[in-house]
Amino acid sequence: MFVQETDPIVDMGIGKKITPKDKMLYVKKQLSTDKNWAIKALLKIFEFQTKEEQEAERTQVNNNIGFTGVDGEILSSFAKQYMKRKFLSPKQMAIVYKRMPKYWGQVIKISNETQLERLIRQTWLTSNS
């Protein structure tokens, strides 16, 4: 049996193909609103910084991974603080929510594609119920 366009399952987004744009929009939204996503991404992107960059808390190598030069200092310091204390203040989280969405591409590259698509489909289902 195959899914027809008139089937309710298609109308709910289950049969819809997930596009790169769908992934980008979903990840950007999660990074700007979900604390777990934002913190996990902050820590993973920090790991992408070179050892020298991590220690200096600034971006030194333009290698298209890790933080941008503008974000290197503040986000590195937040990552270090979170690793040490397991806490960021509401003001710090507001900054993380504002800055992390630009790293959506790096987050998608390190994500499990099947799991990411499953999460997107769940979002479509809950928004259509």
Q: Which residue has the higher pLDDT, 77 or 6?
A: 77
Give pLDDT, residue 11.
Answer: 42
Q: What is the mean pLDDT of the chain?
A: 83
Helix (H/G/I), strand (E/B), else coil: 43? helix
- Contact by Cβ (8 Å): 43, 79: yes
Q: Residue 15 pLDDT > 90, yes or no?
A: no
Give pLDDT, residue 67.
Answer: 86
pLDDT digits 0-9 by tens, 27-67: 999 999 999 999 999 999 998 876 766 665 556 556 667 88
64 CA to centre of own chain? 16
Q: Which residue has the higher pLDDT, 69 or 120?
A: 120
All structural domains of the chain with their residue ranges: 30-122
- Contact by Cβ (8 Å): 37, 119: no
Give pLDDT, residue 13.
Answer: 52
Looking up tokens 């333009």, which residue turns up? Answer: 62
Give pLDDT, residue 1.
Answer: 32
- H/E element, 59: none
pTM: 0.80
Helix (H/G/I), strand (E/B), else coil: 115? helix
Q: Residue 9 pLDDT > 70, yes or no?
A: no
